[in-house]
Structures are given as C-alpha cells and as structure tokens.
Amino acid sequence: MQVFAAVVDAGSFIGAAGALGQSKAAVSRHVAELEARLGVRLLHRTTRRLSLTDEGAAFHGRCKALLADVEAAEAEVTHRADRAVGLLKVNVPVSYGVLRLAPLWAEFMTRHPQVELDVTLSDRFVDLVEEGFDLAIRIGRLGASSLVSRQMASTRLVACASPAYLQAHGHPTHPQDLARHATLGYSLLADGTTWHFERSDGSEPPQAVKVSPRMWSNSGDTCRAVALAGGGIILKPCFMVGDDLVAGRLVQVLPLWQAPELGIHAVYPSRRHLSPKVRLLVDFLSQALASSP
C-alpha cells in the first residue's frame, strides 16, 4: 500500500522508486503483486503516463487514510511526538513562499534531520487529499471546509503606486477615485474587481470600489513589477510591497483608508491523529511568522 500510494503521488514508478529508496523493478513488482492479490487493475500504464482506474482511485483514498492512521499509531507507541520523521509535502503561494517561507526551511530541517521536505509553490487552489499534500499555506478568508486550519499570522492589503505614476496622474483622495485610475488586477483574488476600504478613524462608511483593471495577471509579482514601472495602482499584501514602500519605490495611496487584513493559515486534512511532522511544522511556522515584520 505504501508503494502504491508513492507511485500515485509521484506520478511514475521512477519517481516513487527515488522517494522510497528502492529500484524501479521492485516498485513495479510490489504494485503488480498488489493488483494480483486484489484481482483488479489499479493503474493504467502507457509509455507516457500513469493514471488511476476507478478501482485504483477508490483504493488510493482508503490507502492514504489507513497509512495516516498507521503513522499516527506508530507515533503514539514509539513516543515520537517531538520528532518529525519522513516525507512532508507542503504547498505554498508563490510570492509568500519565496519572500517569507524560503528562508525558514533550512532551520526546520536542521531541527528535524529525519524529515524530507517537498515544497511546491503554486497560487492555484490545490486539493490536499487528492494531490497528496500534508499541509498547505493559504492567505485570505477561508470558506467552509472539512479541512483543519490554524491562523499563524496576518497581512494587510495596501493600495500603492510608483511616484512616477502619481506624479503623472495625481493622487486619489477617496476610494471611489480609483475607478478613474489605471489599476492592475490579480486574477486569483476573489472578487478582484471590487476593492474594499475602511476609514481608519471610522468617520465615513466602508467603501466598495468597482475597478476596471487595465491589465490582469495571475502573478502578484508581475503586477508589482508593472506598478514599479509606472503602469498603475495595485492592491497587494504588505509582505510583497513593504520593502518597496520603505524604500520609496512605491507610495501608499489613500493612507487614511485601510484595505482588508488577511489571515495566513496552515491548512491540513482532518485526521483523528495529527501527524507529528505536520504538528511540529505548524508550530515552527507559527512561531517564526509571528515575529515577521
């Protein structure tokens, strides 16, 4: 079952062999013996790719749950509660992963030398269970889900632009002025055409501004680069633009108005016994990110 799950997670026999430290022949033999014992084909094999049969998909889901329970049971009886052991697959947003998380992985691995990290950077919404991730970092307001989440830190969205753009087009003085400015939209932001602001002193009602971005991108770094070049106003989290604001490369617009604060969450599948390696990583990141500027 462990070998079969590894083949599915890796997408190939060679990838699973590398992850397990076995030969490709041994991995293939394990899967073939499993199929023979069950009397069903679990995988479609072609020269280009592997895919699950219907029976294989159902069996894979049960395997993952059972293997998680086995790991939890071993942790209980061998008192590994303070040790991270084995492969830990983590999904993180691209910009946050590079700017804030990348410097932390070495320290975690130093503290826990028996852990192997597989960190995937992607801004798309991944299915943790289907894609075999132990943990994901998500930024924003989380909807209803069967997943377990823990907020580790927060970040605030900031509307900003380059000094050159503001000199050429003027400073907006009210959120509704943004509708007449060139804006740059992040296409993965929920309701990305409506920007929300609240007056810092509460003297005016909250404002929801309908913007018409001149450019869309699914990359926050691309939006930032265009803003730095004078292309328009962006609404980005302060972890991405904070250094630019301090250095004066970008200037906050509407300083008397606040955009929403977003939670930074660790999200993991709901299990009766949380894997020690996941718990230790969440605790480590929570402590590290709580002190982030």
Rounded Cα distance between 209 and 259, Å, is: 11
Q: Pick the range with the lowest mean pLDDT from 11-25, 94-108, 214-228, 234-248.
A: 11-25
pLDDT at position 246 is 96
HEC profile of 173-236 = CCHHHHHHCCEEEECCCCCCCEEEEEECCCCCCCEEEECCCCEEECCHHHHHHHHHCCCCEEEE
Residue 72: both structure tokens together: 């939890």
Q: What is the pTM of this model?
A: 0.69
pLDDT in tens, 251-283: 999 999 999 888 999 998 865 557 788 889 999
pLDDT in tens, 103-116: 999 999 999 998 99
Domains observed in the chain: 1-79 (1.10.10.10), 155-261 (3.40.190.290)
User: What's the pLDDT band for 15 if we cut at 50, 70, 90?
Assistant: confident
Q: Look at residue 88 and tell me whether its pLDDT is greater than 60.
A: yes
pLDDT at position 78 is 52
Residue 258: both structure tokens together: 């606040």
User: What's the pLDDT band for 141 if we cut at 50, 70, 90?
Assistant: confident
Amino acid identity, position 28:
S
Say which residues have a Cβ less than 8 Å from residue 173's Cβ, sequence separation at least 6.
Answer: 254
Residue appearing with tokens 């479609």: 44
